[in-house]
Amino acid sequence: MTETPPHPPLAPPGPPARPWYVSALLATAAVTLLLLAVWGYARLKSPYPFFGTAYPAGTRATGFSGTVQAGEREQPFTFTPDSGQAGGPVTALFFGFTNCPNICPLTLSYLNRVRDALPPAQRGRLRVVLVSVDPDRDTPARLNEYVSFFGKAGVGVRVPEPALSTLAAAYGVAYQKADVKGPESYQINHTTATYLIDARGQLRVLWDYTQLPQLERVKADVQYVLETP
């Protein structure tokens, strides 16, 4: 007589399948928590909802020295971010060059339009500083003529190499010659950000070039920094 082998024990029943709508609710909750975390991180960096990208509190700007044109002669220029006085100047700093075909002249134009839109009491406290990434061709006289064309609040500074590359790196700026056709014929690819530095020498916000046409929102950022040292 042949014995029939015993049947293996049945596995205990698994948990019931989760309804689809429960999975959808959990996924929605996870996305919501992620967005809240991102929003919270942004508010930790700055309680004010800047239009530009806010820097963490206490981020110090880097000072530098160069040469500017003053009347008929060149003179040394030192940018000291911390003015040491309440109500001191706020600086919009960017890196460019006078042979730039579009981004640099438009940046200067937008920044001067923002300045002109400020109330008179604040207008004089916003200065625009252009640091040339083309010291081989941009003389202080040429920079002065270029910046002055767009308004009276600007100053163009020539910083020689290798100090220029060190300064650019401190602000996260990259630049490189491109389309080189000769010693005096080339373009320069460069970072297009503008950095807003408050009167205490702290980096508060940066705008990409593509944000600058929204003048009212840029102006709101500037006014907040002017009013909230």
Would you list the domain boundaries of the chain?
17-47, 53-227
Task: List, for residues 37-93, the tens digit of each pLDDT value.
Answer: 434 554 455 678 999 999 999 999 999 999 999 989 999 999 998 766 667 899 999
Task: List, for residues 115-172, the tens digit of each pLDDT value.
Answer: 999 999 999 999 999 999 999 999 999 999 999 998 777 999 999 999 999 999 999 9
Residue 30 has pLDDT above 60, yes or no: no
Look at residue 100 in the predicted model and tell me its pLDDT: 94
Look at residue 24 in the predicted model and tell me its pLDDT: 44
Look at residue 18 in the predicted model and tell me its pLDDT: 57
pTM, to two decimals: 0.79
**Contact status, residue 59 vs residue 202, Cβ threshold 8 Å:** yes
Rg (CA), the chain: 27
- Return d(Cα 78, Cα 68) in angstroms, integer: 10
- Return d(Cα 205, Cα 200) in angstroms, integer: 14
Residue 15 has pLDDT above 60, yes or no: no
Q: How many CB atoms lie within 10 A of CB 23?
A: 11
- What does pLDDT average to over the chain? 85
**Contact status, residue 184 vs residue 98, Cβ threshold 8 Å:** no
Architecture of the domain defined by 53-227: 3-Layer(aba) Sandwich (3.40)
